[in-house]
Chains A and B, each alone.
Chain A
Amino acid sequence: MDNVATHGSAHGHAHDHHEHHELGFWRKYVFSVDHKVIGIQYAITALCFLLFGFSLMMMMRWQLAYPGAPIPLIGNLFGPDKAPGGVMLPEFYNMLGAMHGTIMVFLGVVPLAVGGFGNFVMPLQIGAPDMAFPKLNMMSYWVYFCGGVTMLVSFFMPQGAAQSGWTSYPPLSVINQGGQTLWLIGMVFLITSSLLGSVNFIVTIVQLRAKGLSFMRMPFFVWAQFVTSFLLLLAFPPLEAAGVLQLMDKLAGTSFFLPSGLVVANQVVTGVTGVAEGATRAGGGNPILWQHLFWFLAHPEVYVLILPAMGIIAEVIANNTRKPLWGYRALVYAVGFLGFMSFIVWAHHMFMTGMGTTMSAFFQTTTMIISIPSVVILTALLLSLWGGSIRYTTPMLFALAFLPMFGIGGLTGLPLGLAPSDIHLHDTYYVIGHFHYVVAPGTIFALFAGIYHWFPKATGRKMNEMLGKIHFWGSFVCINTVFMPMFAQGLAGMNRRMYDGGGMYDHNKVVLGHLLGHAITPVSLNIVIGFGAWGLGLFQLPFIINFFSSIKWGKAVNQNPWEATTLEWAAPSPPGHGNFLTEPIVYRGPYEYSVPGAPSDFTPQFEPERA
């Protein structure tokens, strides 16, 4: 009995010590519940997907620049059903297009911006030990991973990957053979991951803020993540529902999206009054229903793409101008209003669907209104530069470039948001130019800024400035070379999603001007764009080299190398388990730079008041 009692108490004693036991390799680095590890997992996975999606585009640009020419170097790897003799088939082009969009948006940018930066930085910036639901957080990452694998596997299906655009419009998406089914299943995984993550983010921000951190003292980055999470929470479910409906159409023979009397390639698909007519399906469906449910998500989704980026830019600008952000309150109200409005503009993607004029006017109005908070945010960020003592570090260069690039992206959205001009511009390269300006030199530049900015916190080392500047300048020049000509192409009427660049249409032979004796046509611009794209690819090499080599050989730094004011810089670099060595307490707002009378040009949030 004595032995049992002793053994029992000894076991209990050992169990107390178990609070700080060492986790094995798998629990520490693979199935970790620590938000920092999960954030890095998201970031690395997302960066890989970004590179992959980018490569798909580089191949597409080859076909557009030199239609019918065999793809150099790798052309023979794709087999006769995708690229016989190395020449890209139209079906393959469509696969690349659909998957480029899907991968960049759902597997690349959002997981990096929200899953990566949100997970790593946000709990640190609010002084929390971790997320509210650490195990749920881990699950979110692995479900995202499964979704990503599902999407990649679809390339190896007999008929290839999805090829109906990232927008998957029926009837084509339902009727097309190929990886669309896997695309839908992949989306269900990704949406689930997103929903779990957004619940976690909101609860964490509401419940786990440190003492003294009121909402109006939160860094703008946290506000941006907060609003983004509400967008993900409420806008994604309709797409999940639509995905289920389309899956039913593909697998269970329903016709939610297939109208009656549909005939494809002389085959009757849906009956006029039901299945009895010898048709394969009942009919009675509505393709526009898919568009409504898709865009109900996909419009807020674009704000999911930009809001975290704006959050990052705000942090980098405040830190590198050594002064507070201009208009903090305006920024907060604007981002909240923007989030709300984003739910009631979606049908500006559907002006050409035969909508009644009243509702068309409604959506044009809300779309014009939503540009106001957007401009407020951009203006506040711009005015934040005024009178600043600017440090031209690599993150700051990316942040400075973001401002005009996002400006161009936003302004070019206006003729798209008004139905009359949209009649001409809809589905042209103007649209592609517009949204890429916002996402590519917009969001992705902001994400680069964030990587350079927070790399020291995550690794304890700075990235190399010289490589960073090469990365920046090369990317900046090339990315504008890629997307600026697209506005000219679109205005001339060049359609998107044409695998030969639309060369067969007369309006694409319009001469836009002459340069050095050569006529510039919308089609010939494809060559310029192609070289821009391939150059852009090359200039990511300094970044990749910098990223990995700095982990080992970057200049070692202390906990606050940028002399910043927000809470994450109170934790060690990198932070340990539980993040902070002592309980963080917040004494002031997030951007107390250059406070008159203060001993240095920054007064961190977490520094106690001097006596």
Chain B
Amino acid sequence: MSHSDPAEIKKTVRTYLIVGAALYVGTIVTVAVNHVHLVVPMAITAALIIASVKGSLVASIFMHLSHEKRWIYGSLLLTVAFFIVLLSVPLLTTLDNIGSPNASQTVIVGDHMKMER
């Protein structure tokens, strides 16, 4: 099995503790940035970037993804692709004229109509 050597595992233990500390710092940063009261799109972007960094640390170090096998990577890549589709495409169908230069975008949901731009 990978890293069965005790000395190697002791090194990894150090890494785990460092990453744990980094995650704590990341959490503090997340809450601190929230206090800055950015515009909503900026706030969302910032929050997601920080969360993604934290998430990547958990995935690559705690879950050993950084040295995992091809089958795992492949399955996860496929999943991430479909995840992105699931999150973005339904929202896109609510937009009327994607890519059209002059048209304003109307979002119609239920009986609320919201005009943007």
User: So, do A and B actually touch in the complex, CB under 8 Å?
Assistant: yes
Residue A496 at the chain B interface, CB threshold 8 Å:
no
Knowing A356-B93, A359-B92, say if A296 contacts B112 (CB, 8 Å): no
Residue A24 at the chain B interface, CB threshold 8 Å:
no
- Chain B residues lying within 8 Å of A359, measured Cβ to Cβ, are 89, 92-93, 95, 98
A208 to chain B, nearest CB (A): 14
Residue B97 at the chain A interface, CB threshold 8 Å:
yes
Check B97–A347 contact: CB distance below 8 A.
no
Knowing A358-B97, A359-B98, say if A259 contacts B111 (CB, 8 Å): yes
Which residues in window 86-117 of B have CB below 8 A to A? 86, 89-90, 92-100, 108-112
Give the CA-CA distance A343 to B109 in the complex, in Å.
25
Knowing A261-B110, A343-B85, A356-B98, say if A234 contacts B79 (CB, 8 Å): yes
Output the nearest chain B residue to A353 by Cβ-Cβ distance: B93
Check A356–B79 contact: CB distance below 8 A.
no
Question: Which 5 pairs of residues, A with B, have the shortest CB-CB distance?
Answer: A259-B110, A358-B98, A292-B90, A356-B96, A359-B93
Residue A330 at the chain B interface, CB threshold 8 Å:
no
Residue A285 at the chain B interface, CB threshold 8 Å:
yes
Residue B82 at the chain A interface, CB threshold 8 Å:
yes
Give the CA-CA distance A246 to B57 in the complex, in Å.
35
Knowing A259-B111, A283-B110, A284-B110, say if A356 contacts B95 (CB, 8 Å): yes
Main secondary structure of the interface of A (DSSP, over half): helix
A-B contacts, 23 of them at CB < 8 A, read A206-B71, A230-B78, A234-B78, A234-B82, A238-B86, A259-B109, A259-B111, A260-B110, A260-B111, A272-B111, A283-B110, A286-B110, A288-B93, A288-B109, A292-B90, A343-B82, A343-B85, A344-B85, A355-B93, A356-B92, A356-B96, A358-B92, A358-B97
Check A260–B82 contact: CB distance below 8 A.
no
A273 to chain B, nearest CB (A): 10
- Chain B residues lying within 8 Å of A598, measured Cβ to Cβ, are none
A292 to chain B, nearest CB (A): 4
Q: Output the residue of B85, B98, B110, B111 with the most chain A CB within 10 A.
A: B110
- Chain A residues lying within 8 Å of B96, measured Cβ to Cβ, are 356-357
Give chain A's interface residues, CB within 8 Å of chain B: 206, 230, 234, 238, 259-261, 272, 283-286, 288-289, 292, 296, 340, 343-344, 347, 350, 353-359
B1 to chain A, nearest CB (A): 16
Check B79–A285 contact: CB distance below 8 A.
no
Give the CA-CA distance A160 to B51 in the complex, in Å.
47
Knowing A234-B82, A343-B82, say if A356 contacts B109 (CB, 8 Å): no
Give the CA-CA distance A292 to B112 in the complex, in Å.
19
- Chain B residues lying within 8 Å of A238, measured Cβ to Cβ, are 86
Give the CA-CA distance A284 to B85 in the complex, in Å.
24
Output the nearest chain B residue to A285 by Cβ-Cβ distance: B110
Give the CA-CA distance A475 to B86 in the complex, in Å.
40
A245 to chain B, nearest CB (A): 14
